[in-house]
Structure 1
Amino acid sequence: MSAAAPQDLTSLHLAGSPAIHPDGGRVVASVQTVDPATLRYRSRLWTFATGRPPTTLTDAGPWSDVLPAFSPDGRHLAFVSDRDGPRRAWLMEADGTGTPLPVDGIDARVTEILWLDADRLLVVAERPAPHAEGAPVVIDWLGYKSDGGGGPLEPTGELWLAGPDGTASLLLASSERLRCPATDGRDVYYAASPRHSDLPEPGCEVRRLPLDGGPQQTLWRCASPVRALAVDTKGAVFAVASNAAGQSVTPPRVWLVAGPGVAEPHLAFPDADLECERAVLSDCRPRSAPRLLATAGEEVLFVATVGEEVALFSAPPSGEPARISPPGLSVTDFDAVAGSVALCQESAAHPIELYLDGARLSALNTAWVASVRPVAPEPVTVAAFDGLPLHGLLYRSATGEGRVLVRVHGGPHLASGNSFDLETQTQVAAGYHVLVPNIRGSAGRGAAFRALSVGEWGRADHRDLLAFADWAVHCGLADPGQLYLAGGSYGGYLINWTLTRTDRFRAAVSERSVTNLLSKYGTSDNGFTVNRYEFGGLDLFDAGARELLDRSPLHHAARITTPLLLVHGERDERCPIEQSEQLFTALRRLGRDVVFVRLPGESHGYSASGRPDRRIERMRLIIEWLDTHREPDRH
């Protein structure tokens, strides 16, 4: 048996984007791996069926084949690939015979595909804004930053129609960004977001585009981005959105946008306190966007974070949603046709596998799990200072010897839970018990719990974190001198803040963090919206600026004496690298033990979707930092 190590990232096979054949007998999924030779992501399409070994459907190469979709008659399979350079739509026979052929005529980057019927494939594409390389960029709009967006000049959206013969014609060219296509077979539905907007909170619109040439119709002006659309067989249009401008406290939910008897958009299930998102974190999922919402006949299916798991829910036309995915596993992606559901599911001790109607179809990671034996966590409940019950997970290390690493998730409206995380397993293997708290504001416990973070950054949340550290000591798990801290994004803010309040931790790791709330208001893509809301409306233009300064860890840097490793992506637009630069400079001037790791080319999500070689090296550096500052083992 071998221990989990950062290099194991090259051993995992991660299934996503499942597509059920219309006959319900087989599933095609995109399986992502990391090429051990080049340390780059690669994806191929695989076919899975009950009672038969899986087979590869597309050939291997220096490319990725993703987003498979069967035509309604089951004869053709469409997918998206960069196998000849640009990201394009491709077509092949559903049985795998013949050679895949690209859809011709679309010279823009393809983002999504959707079969309208057996003869028409809808292709969503985005066209880069014209700009000469090296020329100055003139910006006269407010929302010019977007983490991972590739720069301030946003692309324009296009809709194309393609036939099984691979020819395409332009359906719609827009000055906006187009996402989330859906269809009832007669019309196309999509979400349109403004480009280069000067509005602090621009929202988006849900529209219907008749395929018979009639005029477009705006169905909903939503105050927030729309994350998914679906249409049932009776023409009811559903959407996943929060409909709350400029903040992430209000969770996304399922909305009934339009349809028979619908006078205006409203919550589809107003009595269900469900957060309709995949908020449980993991560093071992495919990079393609997962499905959040679907319809099968008149049934509505959607994912929601519940406690420490992501579950699939189903609801009949007039009824309340019920969980249909099994407990003990978290859903990472799904597909549904009438009578069948395909699920990609994971657990904290096993990476993603594929299931069809409850039967497991894959064993992609079984051999690796048998060799490494990842540790399954145990639930932990801690009482906060005000009596609020807080939940978390504890990963015990066989060689921990009193060393406890408290790892705080970001968000703050995300969660640590029953999902596979390679980084956690490597830290357990390195000899650290890993304690992951879900403090107030975390996702999965309802809207009221989620809202408890507002106005409490560096206050109640800091005390929640210390309650978990106290629990670890009082129950005998942690040696008081062997406590460690780690966290990223909001979790990094909380690490930084905690270090200004206590020196009880032996060493800490703060990643892509917030240190200066004043500068973040102008350098981040969400500083003047999400952060302003989280701090109760405090702004730069009034007396709130003084409080923002006081609640910035940088303002109290002289109190930090704990050895600190700072890690940051150089292209992070969410928490820009200047945040870590300022704290690093302050601490080095003070003569503190601080090291700064800069990740070139990486945006905010580097720990889960960054370049594989950088991810592997980052995990190694973090363990090295912790090991450098730990007490020698007791023998």
Structure 2
Amino acid sequence: MVLAAALAVASPPLAVARAAEPALVAQLVKLHKVSGTVFSPDGGRAVFVVAEPAVGKDRKSSIWLYESATQTTRKLTAAGKQDSQPRWSSDGKTLAFISSRGDDEPQVYLLPMDGGEAQPLTTAKGGVSAFEWSPAGGMIAYVGSDPEPESPEKENGDDEIVASQGFGPLRLNVIDLATKTSRKVLAGDRWAIGMFAWKPDGQGVVATVSDGFKPEGAIDRLFEISVADGAMREIGQIKGVEFSDLKVSPDGRLAAFLASGDGPIPHDLYVQTLAGGPARNLTGAGVRGGVDRPVADPTWTGPTSLTFATQEGFGGAVYSVSTVTGRIRELKRFQDNDVSALAVSGDRMLYAKSNSVTPVEVWASTGGTERKVTNLHAGFAALVAPRLIKYASADGFEIEAQLFTPAGAPGPSPFVVLVHGGPSGRWSNAVNDRAQLLVQQGFAVLAPNIRGSVGYGYAFVKSNRADWGGGDFRDVMAGVDQMIAQGVADPERLGIAGWSYGGYMSAWAVTQTHRFKGAVVGAAMLDLETQWGTEDGELIPYDTWYVGTPWDNKADFARMSPITHVKNVTTPTLLLVGEDDSVDPIAQNWQFYRALRMNGVKAEMVAYPREGHRVSEELHSRDVLTRTTEWLVDHVKGAGK
């Protein structure tokens, strides 16, 4: 159905007036993000990336330097639009990173650490998406896409896209730093490169490779590739829907990576010998002594040892593991914090840490003693600390949640349940912007990690497979009922909101019950069949794992789709979506919005130009927070008035 037909519904234009902005919004859109932490080879310094708050349409990121001796930090780069992926040379004298400067494609830049300006190294026409130094430092391997060559035919409009030919596979290249000459390692159009890591001998890389374009998503295989002649030797196929964080051991015998044996996300830490054979799970539920929690930031700390971080409930921890004995040892626990971007060198750690009332800062830990080394959010507004609770749900499930309550509330409060994205996501001990805005407006807010969330074991992740809107919805409603029973929530003033899968659950909830007086549906999947067929192709394996395919499971697709049950809705509903969202395309929202209006339900839809699945521009971000708050204030807090 064409857009014009959707627009034909009698409705106000999408560019409706912006509501009055709560004062806290201006601070919440100024949050920084930290990523890409990596120590120098000698551990004396480290670098990390700080993504700065958007200013207008523009969002910048810069690279910062940490000095271990003084435990101080300073900004290294400031000229770039987007600086990312810092990498040290083997002698620690040069830092390479990817930068987009002006309107140019992202390229690799080199920055001498003894002073001087960063200079571009690569001139790849399609830009660079990833790179790594060779062990000796004389070469850099990088991945980029080849742009379509210009031709008279294309200039004249003969520019059709043939689906089976894909959209420009990523190529592996090497550049010699002495001569500045670059060459392709693999010729032809067959192979697309994903992750890669150098072997310690510098003769080749270990890489994930997919074989041509597949509409159902790429099947990645692990290869050793010679950088001299492109000779390839297959090591194995990675099992599971997705995997990440490929690292080669210092002695070149093992590859480590994150993957899932059967599931939608990389969850466990695996190792595989480069000689071939099956991969071995070091951390999963079926492993003796395994932690069975989602792993992040694996780092080789020796030929047979790795460190890694985990997400555990709302917090996390850091562990080490021996690839010989399989023994796992806890190094540090972060019960009340959210930790990411972990880097390890000897007994030194550097990481990003936040909690529910304190935005992210970089912390350094030496011998177990930690110290904050940045001050990115000085003077940030005082926020409301939540209480961690647990409640019983259906089928014997225990659900963990954060409960935010307004100070001095005399009795049951207007109440909103916030559902996180995913479903394989979670709420954590980080600043929850929507919860903070709502509690400031007098709401009690529940943020539950319902079944399907990560952080509670892989069986919990898989517990809503082919059951969206079933047990997960019962978990939501059990939390609502518990809060009513405890006198926290006013049963006549209930609301629900979420983004992505959280938006799905918000839409689903109002098709199943009339108890909610207002709902906010952000970037949601609302018709699972058309979602499956029109979303970004890389997501097809993820959704297929959960629901199957429409021709084999048409009844399940319909049963679990909010659009199927939209005639039941009476709740005033606000839909928010990025106009360029390829994860949950905007047509999903048009379908649901049009159906609501045709059935006489009070509804509004707001689309954000230039935005994808996550809204990032400053004014758009402010608008999302403001509209969400005002919709719930008007329809939930003001219910019955």
TM-score normalised over the length of structure 1: 0.86
* Secondary structure at the counterpart of residue 595 of structure 2: helix
Is 1:113 equivalent to 2:131 in the alignment?
yes
Q: State the distance in 2 between where 1:39 and 1:166 align.
A: 39
1:274–1:304 contact (8 Å) kept in structure 2: no
Partner of 2:246: 229
Q: Does 1:623 align with 2:639?
A: no
Query: Which of the residues 85, 93, 100 maps onto 2:118?
Result: 100
Q: 329, 334, 338: which one pairs with 1:322? A: 329
Quick check: 1:218 aligned with 2:234?
A: yes
Q: Does residue 127 of structure 2 align to residue 126 of structure 1?
A: no
Q: Find 1:169's aligned residue among 170, 182, 187.
A: 182
CA RMSD after TM alignment:
2.9
Residue 349 of structure 2 is matched in structure 1 by 341
Deviates more, 1:25-34 or 1:461-470: 25-34
Which residue identity lines up with residue 591 of structure 1 in the other structure?
G
Opposite residue 476 of structure 1, the aligned amino acid is G
CA distance in structure 1 between the partners assigned to 2:602 and 2:433 by the alignment? 28
Is structure 2 residue 191 aligned with structure 1 residue 191? no
Match of 2:193 in 1: 178
The structure-2 alpha-carbon separation of the partners of 1:592 and 1:446, relative to structure 1 and needing over 3 Å to count, comes to: same
Q: Deviations over 1:221-270 (max 9, x none)?
A: 2244431211122223333343557x51x65322212147x643232343
Match of 1:229, SS state, is strand
Residue equivalent to 1:34 = 53
| Secondary structure in 1 matching 2:583 | coil
CA distance in 2, matches of 1:15, 1:365: 10
SS of match in other structure, 2:333: coil
Residues 621 and 379 (structure 1 numbering): CA distance in 2 closer, same or farther, change over 3 Å? same
Task: Look up the SS of the partner of 2:516 in the other structure.
Answer: coil
CA–CA distance in 2 between the matches of 1:424 and 1:622?
11
Query: Alignment partner for residue 83 of structure 1, among 101, 108, 113?
Result: 101
Equivalent position to 2:382, from 363, 373, 386 = 373
Question: Which of 294, 297, 305 does residue 302 from structure 2 map onto?
Answer: 297
Once the two structures are superposed, what CA deviation does each residue of 1:611-630 show, in whole Å capped at 9, x if it has no partner?
33322221111112112224
Distance change (3 Å), C-alpha of 1:460 and 1:104: closer
- 2:364 aligns with 356
Q: Distance in 1 between matches of 2:22 and 2:622?
A: 15
Structure 1 residue 565: Cα displacement: 0.4
Separation in structure 2 between the aligned mates of residue 195 and residue 310 of structure 1, nearest angstrom: 38
> 1:208 is aligned with what amino acid?
E
Label 1:611 to 1:120 Cα distance change in 2 as closer, same or farther (>3 A): farther
| C-alpha distance in structure 1 between counterparts of 2:500 and 2:207, whole Å | 31
- After TM superposition, give the deviation of residue 529 of structure 1 in Å: 4.2
* Residue matched to 1:531: 543
What SS is found at the alignment partner of 2:489?
A: coil
3-state DSSP class of the match of 1:295? strand
Moved more, 43-52 or 3-12: 3-12
Alignment CA distance shift 1:52-1:301 (3 Å): closer
* Aligned pairs (5 A) from 1:358-437: 358=366, 359-369=370-380, 372-398=381-407, 402-437=413-448
Q: TM-score, normalising length from structure 2? A: 0.85
Counterpart position of 1:17: 36
Structure 2 CA distance for partners of 1:528 and 1:212, relative to 1, 3 Å: closer
Distance 1:390 1:135, change over 3 A: farther
1:6–1:304 Cα change, 3 Å? same
- 8 Å CA contact retained: 2:308, 2:320: yes
The Cα of 1:42 is off from its aligned counterpart by 1.2
* Partners of 1:353 and 1:203 in 2: CA distance: 38
The letter of the residue matching 2:384 is: V
Does the aligned pair in 1 maintain the 2:253–2:273 contact within 8 Å? yes
Determine the C-alpha separation between the residues in 2 that align with 1:385 and 1:614: 38
CA–CA distance in structure 2, aligned partners of residues 137 and 612 of structure 1: 35
The letter of the residue matching 1:257 is: Q
Distance 1:166 1:377 in 2: 58
Kindly provide the amino acid, as one letter, of the partner of residue 337 in structure 1. S
In structure 1, the residue matched to 2:75 is: 56
Deviation at 1:511, TM superposition (A): 1.3
Aligned to 1:253: 268
Q: Which of 574, 592, 612 is matched with 2:618 structurally?
A: 612
Residue in 2 aligned with 1:147? none
Kindly state the Cα deviation for residue 528 of structure 1 after the two structures are TM-superposed.
5.8
Structure-2 separation of matches of 1:398 and 1:105: 57
Per-residue deviation, 1:295: 1.0
Q: Report the Cα distance in structure 1 between the residues aligned to 2:545 and 2:199, rounded to whole angstroms.
A: 38
Give the whole-Å Cα distance in 1 for the aligned partners of 2:211 and 2:379.
Answer: 45
* Structure-1 separation of matches of 2:618 and 2:211: 33
Shift of 1:463: 1.2
Aligned-residue offset at 1:597 = 1.0
Please tell me whether residue 274 in structure 1 is matched to residue 279 in structure 2.
no
Structure 1, unaligned runs of 5 or more: 145-151, 279-291
Partners of 1:313 and 1:321 within 8 A in 2: yes
Deviation at 1:166, TM superposition (A): 7.8
8 Å contact from structure 1 (residues 10, 39) kept in 2: no
Q: Report the CA distance between 1:564 and its aligned residue.
A: 0.4
2:12 aligns with none
C-alpha distance in 1, partners of 2:266/2:49? 29
Give the C-alpha shift of residue 383 in structure 1.
Answer: 0.5
SS in 2 for 1:598: strand
Aligned equivalent of 2:259: 242
Percent identical pairs in the alignment equals 24
C-alpha distance 3-201 of structure 1, shift in aligned 2 (>3 A): closer
Residue of structure 2 aligned with 1:7, choices 4, 14, 26:
26
Q: Which amino acid aligns with 2:550?
A: L
1:599 is matched with: 608
Match of 2:591 among 582, 587, 591: 582
Partner of 1:264: 278
